Chains A and B, each alone.
Chain A
């Protein structure tokens, strides 16, 4: 065992249990830590906890801004759990959830596999790699709303995508992407895949670079070709990162909004209405804020319940 890695860092690697009596030096350090994080802790409390309580409060009433009064008076319109019953029986709500889940189930795996493929490609060397890096990361840098508008234009009946398809197929292609329900959903998914695959690519590349090179070399020397190396060495080692990427993207995609809304505003009809779009419409058009508060809270609880085990598993105390 060697002592610390640097003369400044005196933390013994892993094993030391804090003895009961801390000396003055250690106490001072602890106090400093508390003071430094106090502002952030207060801010967090204000930004997170307060709105949550507010939401809970509103969701238990039938208050809307049309009532003319401040939200503080919501208690006057007490409705108990009515909003919650409403959302359980609302068909449109459930359909939007279904659609969101469908998008999730299709897009996330595609993004993951494409990202993995690209990461594997980039883990090796090839000409023009630097240039390609920039190109690869550009979609992620585009503002989602702008991406939405971009795809809106691309998917027009007389737009570039149809033009390319015409050239490729020889005949005139004039698919009405955004006016046919199924095609609109497909278009929206394509947009999402385009924009977020680079994120998966980055995360997985980071994971791949963490695979020890000697072990890969050793595997090669033992006779393992690229497939064996991937299966037996790379995959087990990126398992944790893979799952993290999966968790991140799954949670995010559940909230998909900007790109989609700008492309289709949830249409045609409600064929691309995801849960976020639904909430947006109910909030802005129907102004049923208390109902929306209930929905938001339910989604928060469900997502947290799903995410918590994942977070616990992959962020162990080091």
Chain B
């Protein structure tokens, strides 16, 4: 019903390449997320899909049909903009009715849909008010409602909740996910907040400077990032990286300053490679038997857990500890890792070192791992 494909899409503005060779398929009924830092090309992709920009190369297909030449109106996509773009001189009700009134849909059908959507979004009591009289969260719901009024092929959202308070954002993302499940349409969502992306997406695409780095379900991206870039961009606090080398013949990682040694078995290859050992703060073990000594630089008490920042002499690392019992600033502790929860990334290309006698190559278009024997 709403199968959306980008096929080797590139967009250039003069010399600047906004997105390069983008190939991704969004399945019907999927909540798909494009995630990346600002200027990584996410908004450009939405604009290309919407039709207000034309790709320099490549094809965009909706349900198998190439839509490059179609105008935005013909593509039947609904959009929620980052700044909502509600008509300030109209009431919420009129804002919601606008898309359908404009298309000449019969009044009774409009009002029926309006009732249903107002219910789902809990804005029934706000319909008479003007945008200026609504709070940020309420306005945002009206903007989403306006997009939902249309029976569109897919719903595009460009960072719709970033302007809201942190608390409200947490609630709205759950509501959006629930809504999407309920109405069963394809949502294509753009954000730069990694927690938000992980919470809402069925699958997400990580973008770096206009290129897709990985497409996978969020938890898979979190657990098995393909490259150093992806590893550093997903997860808060950010992953720890320790530079060093991995000796394939002995199955051991040694940090550059020699302080950290980790026995890691099951990796391919006999050679020694320069790598970064990566491990998440929650997988960092403080005060264990193995590890390197480090000094506690600061402790951030966050209630449910605490972030302990330590200095190993050559770099700072972060550890996440459950609860509130932490070492004090100035203490010397051992910092170790959980061998099953580490990753290694090659220095040169940033790619992940694969374990278990597999050398998977990732076909980005389908995000399936095709494995070859080692």
Contacts and interface: CB of A to CB of B under 8 A. Distances in A.
Contacts of A89: none
B81 A23 contact: no
Interface of A: 1-7, 10, 12, 15-17, 19, 21, 23, 25-26
A12 B52 contact: yes
Contacts of A19: 54
A77 to B, nearest CB: 58
A10 B52 contact: yes
Interface in B74-133: 79, 81-83, 85
Given A2-B81, A23-B69, 6 more contacts: A2-B158, A2-B159, A3-B43, A3-B79, A10-B72, A23-B71
Nearest to B12: A17
B13 A3 contact: no
Contacts of A23: 69-71
A16 B13 contact: yes
Given A2-B158, A21-B69, A12 B53 contact: yes
A78 B163 CA distance: 75
Given A12-B47, A15-B13, A4 B52 contact: yes
A7 B85 contact: yes
A3 B158 contact: yes
A198 to B, nearest CB: 33
B314 to A, nearest CB: 39
A5 B85 contact: yes
Given A10-B72, A15-B13, A16-B13, A3 B39 contact: no
A3 B83 CA distance: 9
Interface string B240-251: 000000000000
Contacts of A15: 13
A1 B79 contact: no
Rank and list the top 10 A-B pairs by shortest CB-CB distance, nearest first.
Answer: A2-B82, A25-B71, A10-B52, A1-B43, A19-B54, A15-B13, A6-B85, A7-B85, A3-B47, A23-B69
Chain A CB within 10 Å, residue with most, of B50, B53, B73, B158: B53
Contacts of B73: 25
Nearest to B146: A7
Contact of B46 (A3, A5, A6, A16): A3
A2 B80 CA distance: 11
A4 B46 CA distance: 12
A16 B73 CA distance: 19
8 contacts: A1-B39, A3-B46, A19-B54, A23-B69, A23-B70, A23-B71, A25-B73, A26-B71
B313 interface: no
A17 B56 CA distance: 10
A1 B44 contact: yes
B296 to A, nearest CB: 37
B83 A5 contact: yes
Contacts of A17: 13-14
A211 B73 CA distance: 39
Contacts of B46: 3
B38 to A, nearest CB: 8
Nearest to A2: B82
B334 to A, nearest CB: 46
A7 B158 CA distance: 13
A7 B81 contact: yes
Contacts of B81: 2-4, 7
Contacts of A6: 85
Contacts of B83: 2, 5
Contacts of A12: 47, 52-53
Nearest to B71: A25
Nearest to A24: B71
Contacts of B13: 15-17
Interface string B127-169: 0000000000000000000000000000000110000000000
A23 B39 CA distance: 28
B275 to A, nearest CB: 35
A3 B14 contact: no
Interface string B275-300: 00000000000000000000000000
A12 B81 CA distance: 13
Interface string B306-334: 00000000000000000000000000000
A23 B73 CA distance: 12
B140 to A, nearest CB: 15
A11 to B, nearest CB: 8
Interface string B14-49: 100000000000000000000000110001101100
B8 to A, nearest CB: 17
A21 B81 CA distance: 27
Chain A CB within 10 Å, residue with most, of B39, B81, B159: B81
A3 B52 contact: yes
Nearest to B16: A15
A26 B85 CA distance: 23
